[in-house]
Amino acid sequence: MTSSPAPDAAAGRRTAAFFDLDKTIIATSSTAAFSRPFLAGGLLSRGAVLRAAYAHFLFLVGSADADQTERMRAHLSSMVTGWPVDQVSAIVAETLHELIDPYVYAEAVTLIAEHRAAGRDVVIVSASGAELVEPIAAMLGADQAVSTRMEVVDGRYTGEIDFYAYGENKAEAVRRLAAEHGYDLDGSYAYSDSITDAPMLSAVGHGFAVNPDRTLRRLAAEQGWGVLTFNRPVALRRVLSPRASVATGVAALVGTGAAIVVWRLLRRRSV
């Protein structure tokens, strides 16, 4: 398996790099990060914020099992019932840089830039809602985003889920995008911190476990996937101008040593 991003244009192939979001690109839970502004906007109660904080704690320590994850999904689905979509989008737009910008991994930004330079599309694939994921993907300069989609009627969430971007559904979405855009999945890459994304990592030729727990690390060894450690959250605005893409900011990140860290980690796979 090729360990470092290599140009595909010369080979005449179209490929992509698929990135999970939480704890892979950003060092926090994108959903929990917005609980306070949702409270201030009257969308959440204090009790709901406390439950979101508990869910965030489980997320950070990696102790949420499949049953807990499903209960959290059901809770979040119930919680957003009746919320106005426009208000949610406005809150996200107003607070995005404050809440997400400081938690973006420098190593992830560099890696995204390397894939773009190699001619690959960059796709964010996250179980969080589209209203959160799509603005974050745009901020990162991603080409596309796959996310959970809630049913909307008359401008409000009904509480029903049209598409849950989780587990095998992520892999199915990756294969669907490959069919639509002509991606060669054998030459494509995928990155995630979660064992639940094993189907997505298996769907491409170059899977990488990022900050894996013991279970995912063991599976990565069995499957021959790469293992990366990201541990340098940075404020994205420090390395990118408001109108710049991730690719144009890579030179600034190289100065921080992030590119060297990623290069060394990737090189270990080829030794």
How far is CA 208 from each of CA 1, 113, 122, 188, 216, rounded to the nearest angstrom?
A: 11, 17, 15, 11, 10
Least confident of 12-16, 196-200, 225-229, 251-255: 251-255
pLDDT for res 207: 98
For residue 160, which phi and psi values (nearest 5 degrees)? Answer: -85, 150
pLDDT for res 4: 57
pLDDT, tens digit (0-9, with 9 covering 90-100), for 177-192: 999 999 999 999 999 9
Concatenated DSSP letters of 89-108: HHHHHHHHHHHTGGGEEHHH
Asked whether the beta carbons of 253 and 259 are under 8 A apart, the reply is yes
Active site residues: 20, 22
Residue 139 corresponds to which amino acid?
Answer: M
pLDDT for res 248: 37
Q: Which two tokens stand for residue 233?
A: 């959250």
Nearest Cα neighbor of 154 from 107, 76, 210, 84 is 84
pLDDT for res 52: 56
Least confident of 13-27, 49-63, 116-130: 49-63
pLDDT for res 51: 58
Average pLDDT over residues 83-95: 91
For residue 268, pLDDT beyond 90: no
pLDDT, tens digit (0-9, with 9 covering 90-100), for 25-62: 998 877 777 778 888 888 877 666 555 554 544 444 44
Average pLDDT over the chain reads: 80
For residue 101, pLDDT beyond 90: no
pLDDT for res 173: 98
Structural domains for the chain: 9-28+102-270 (3.40.50.1000)
pLDDT for res 271: 39
Residue of 161 and 257 predicted with greater confidence: 161
Average pLDDT over residues 84-96: 91
pLDDT, tens digit (0-9, with 9 covering 90-100), for 202-257: 999 999 999 998 999 999 999 999 999 999 988 776 555 444 444 433 333 333 33
For residue 84, pLDDT beyond 50: yes
